[in-house]
Structure 1
């Protein structure tokens, strides 16, 4: 059951990454996008990974002198995200003199259980080739713009091809997806007043368990390793109120990785009153407005013109905004905490904690009574089983609740349901100690013979209780 919960959690993690997008089944070519005022609109098709035909639209200035620079927009997470999702950005960038290609994201090979940044990068390079071939576009001045998940994909595509002239990331990450996702989810709980072991142990380890099960795709993607191979100038943009990506943690990581690869041609900017996608937000990032942050589109237009004309920035990084709490590195689980180890521990708990009362029930039905070694054993069986089940049910509920979970009443930073589970865990440990002491006294000899069956079921119960202690510490049940 533990592994099953982890698998479901992996699914939930996979569907909640970053920018909320209209996830759906495979989407056919979108209807033609009418040309906004002052722009032209042209439908295009191109080949992505595996020969998949993808469809898009190019928005360009209606009047331009000579060939213009171009940019391909790579969207955030979700299967089959339609090109209209980025129509606001495409329109504003085109009005700044760029040819902008937006396209329908693939749904083939992209599901709740599977995604490949490598395949998405090949799709983006197919789009770059299509835009480079458009009349009126300067093929030497076509770059990539990536939002959220696209902030991992666009640099990966650029690292593979010199055809990409520049890279822009918005709400991008130079950290692993699992680190970003845990920061995202714990941020929602922190805003509800939660702190302590539920965040530092339980949620982190539950996310790792989902990744270990193979259902958190690209969980440990090496973002910094990719950035080390990016040679193109890079513009990084973050909203001051980005609640999904750590806006202060990521820029230094981008800078370090680029510098390790010998690339100092980067610019980092932060927009006040802006959310994860650099849209205006009226309430500190909780709600996304339609309009782009003031000055954002102007920055993109001027920066692209500069870098494609040979005027490259040199490590131009503004001071990042304040960030309420830091993200933490998350590595794969050690062998003793792996999915199989957790499954084995759970099986032991179920057998050990249920066998004790069940055997007593069977004896009563048969009219047989045997005095137990100690009555503490009953508390161990009940509290241990309830702590294990209650802990996972509550963590799973928080995962299923999405970005804004209701943890219930919070006392001193601990949700009341979590405090109840922790109380059960403490009771189980105390009962384990008391049962061990009673067992030791019995073994030393009390003048009473203990039947073999009683020794077996008590020994099994104690085994479960002893294993429960380090297991409960790992999951934060015995940590403040």
Structure 2
């Protein structure tokens, strides 16, 4: 376990952690020695309900079946090639663990029909990916788990609560509050980081609560739209991840999101679960989330929670607050916290998932 943790702490200083194949490396540096870890990269397709999804397996060479992790997506990184997932493709095969990433439905090579905000559909897609891996004789079907960050940290526990085939869960930067509460927290910090006034923040919160109230059936649609019309021309509106209008509540994907309580999903998980937060996360209310988990800890003996000093929402320490919250950088996140790497590897080793 110490060796695994030390390996990842060392890797934290090695730059971008982008996966590089042996062939690419040899072509660039013909004097390179052969790598100890050999990784086979394979593309495949699998079915989930009526959808066909496209994924890629990063498989370490091994004489016996290995553990595997299915990656569930953050909202801003729907593609399997997202930089957010590069560290997993590099680190985990070196520990003897396979990694499977796939394009979220409606993105990349996974068709054009999205889940429409339905987390159950996205969770079932992850379950379908697990079932797909179970058919591979190189993978131990009893040691397949999920990893997800942010929205993926909601999807992974939900999938585990719906399937007995998921052996463990890793949820990173997963708010244990409803989506509307999380977005008010995030939007408030976006405005603060960009120097806007408390009056602007108050107006934003009022508009958000009006729209969310409509979705919950406590505010009429006209009043909610009026509140939204009052902020849609503000220079800070771009930081809110809101449209200038909204769907009828009967068909709204946002309504489905805010009606989902992630704590209930977590409480339904009976397998080993690791929840990791960044202490400097400006997107997720970490203090509230950690407290809610502490309140149920006695009922969840297989749950471990860690808050990582200096890390932000993407488990990065290198970006300043304004940069990390800038929407133009969505999808470019890259974890670089040594403590995150160390905790991840040591927990995997403790669970008996690291290969020999």
Equivalent position SS for 2:258: coil
Equivalent residue, structure 1, for 2:223: none
Residue 80 of structure 2: which of 79, 83, 90 is its match? 83
Equivalent residue, structure 1, for 2:302: 265
Question: Deviation of residue 75 (structure 1)?
Answer: 1.2
Distance 1:66 1:207 in 2: 53
Question: Deviation of residue 132 (structure 1)?
Answer: 2.3
Equivalent residue, structure 2, for 1:137: 139
Distance 1:140 1:177 in 2: 32
Matched pairs, number: 269
Question: Deviation of residue 127 (structure 1)?
Answer: 0.8
* 8 A Cα contact 1:281 1:289, kept in partner: no
Q: How does 1:320-335 map to 2 (within 5 A)?
A: none
Distance 1:104 1:34 in 2: 20
Q: How does 1:20-169 map to 2 (within 5 A)?
A: 35=21, 38=37, 39-48=39-48, 50-62=49-61, 64-78=62-76, 81-85=78-82, 86-107=85-106, 108-110=112-114, 114-169=116-171
Equivalent residue, structure 1, for 2:229: none
* 8 A Cα contact 2:314 2:334, kept in partner: no
Alpha-carbon RMSD across the aligned residues, in angstroms, is 2.5
Output the TM-score relative to the length of structure 2.
0.68
Instruction: Say if 1:204 and 1:257 are closer, same or farther in 2 by CA, change over 3 A.
Output: farther
Q: How does 1:357-376 map to 2 (within 5 A)?
A: none
Equivalent residue, structure 2, for 1:250: 289
Question: Deviation of residue 90 (structure 1)?
Answer: 2.3
* 8 A Cα contact 2:70 2:101, kept in partner: yes
Q: Which has the higher contact order (CA 8 A, sep 6+)?
A: 2
Equivalent position SS for 1:83: coil
Equivalent residue, structure 2, for 1:281: 318
Q: How does 1:393-412 map to 2 (within 5 A)?
A: none
* 8 A Cα contact 1:69 1:305, kept in partner: no
Distance 1:230 1:240 in 2: 24
Equivalent position SS for 1:151: helix
Moved over 6 A (4+): none
Output the TM-score relative to the length of structure 1.
0.52
* 8 A Cα contact 1:241 1:276, kept in partner: yes
Question: Deviation of residue 197 (structure 1)?
Answer: 5.7
Distance 1:192 1:253 in 2: 30
Please identify the structure whose Cα radius of gyration is greater.
1
- Spell out, residue by residue over 1:403-445, the C-alpha distance to the aligned partner (whole angstroms, 9 max, x if none): xxxxxxxxxxxxxxxxxxxxxxxxxxxxxxxxxxxxxxxxxxx
Question: Deviation of residue 193 (structure 1)?
Answer: 5.2
Equivalent position SS for 1:93: helix
Equivalent residue, structure 2, for 1:328: none
Q: How does 1:288-437 map to 2 (within 5 A)?
A: 290=334, 292-308=336-352
Unmatched runs of 5 consecutive residues or more in structure 1: 1-32, 310-480
Residue 240 in structure 1 maps to residue 279 in structure 2: yes
Equivalent position SS for 2:350: helix
Distance 1:255 1:161 in 2: 25
